[in-house]
Copies of this chain bind each other. A is one copy, B any other.
Amino acid sequence: MGGRSVPGGPRPVGLMATSRLEAFSDGVFAIAITLLVLDLAVPARSPSGSGGLASALGREWPSYFAYLVSFLIIGIIWVNHHTVFDTVRLVDRPVLFANLGLLLVVSALPFPTRLLAEYLTAGADSHVAAAIYSAAMLAMSLAFSTLWLVITRDARLLHQHIDAASSRAALRRFGLGNVFYLGTIGLAFLSAIATLAVHAALAVYYCFNQLPVARSGAVAPDGGIRRDESDG
């Protein structure tokens, strides 16, 4: 039920399987994360050809730094998107549009990345670029929180073994991230480089701190399927 195999099978009116939402989202995530590479510029070939390439590439370090941080962030959003939709059984039209809101921010991320890479060492302008980058991350975090709110508003959308109350509690803890991202907008006006470094640190932090989705289904050690009685 709810898989690609029976896309139009009997389901509550207006509810749809998650498969195409996941496929479309995977496409947007994959393209956004791969388009970042287009902004790694190859230095113009100097006429003399006398060994200046290494230093020319070295001067491009802001591009590599911004590329790495943005790749990591989009990658982690994808992992969390995957984790969230692993708990979802069906989607309705509001979920499709809340997801579209998240994809809008994700697909736009190559632009603030390019902007910050270009202006990271540009004096006064570096603060503007870093603030825009931080604002994009805040928008991403808010869009993600909104998506989760929209999903958990209707228990029919979730798999039966998901504990909706715990999931909402997890969302409150996750929502604290929004405060951190808001703080990085302020930090941008102190130092653009420090701002990018903090985003890198936040991304690494989210690598190790899993989105705590409460679930109670489990497979017994013998390989058979076991369900906690309290949930089934």
Binding site for B on A (CB under 8 A): 1-14, 16, 18-24, 26-38, 40, 42, 45, 49-54, 57, 67-68, 71, 75, 78-79, 82-83, 85-89, 93, 96-97, 100, 103-104, 107-108, 110-111, 114-115, 118-119, 122-125, 128-129, 132, 159, 161-162, 207, 210, 215, 217-219, 225-227
Q: A10-B227, A31-B34 are in contact. List 6 more A-B contacts (CB 8 A).
A: A3-B6, A27-B30, A32-B34, A53-B119, A71-B107, A75-B100
Docked complex Cα distance between A36 and B19 (Å): 24
Docked complex Cα distance between A26 and B22 (Å): 10
Chain B positions within 8 Å of A82 at CB level: 16, 20-21, 24, 96
Number of copies: 4
Chain B positions within 8 Å of A49 at CB level: 122-125
Contact A78 B4 (CB under 8 A): no
Contact B8 A89 (CB under 8 A): yes
Chain B positions within 8 Å of A103 at CB level: 33, 75
Contact A207 B97 (CB under 8 A): yes
Chain B positions within 8 Å of A215 at CB level: 13
Contact A93 B79 (CB under 8 A): yes
Docked complex Cα distance between A21 and B82 (Å): 9
Docked complex Cα distance between A30 and B29 (Å): 9
Supposing A32-B34, A33-B28 touch, asked if A217 and B11 sit within 8 A by C-beta, the answer is yes
Docked complex Cα distance between A93 and B27 (Å): 20
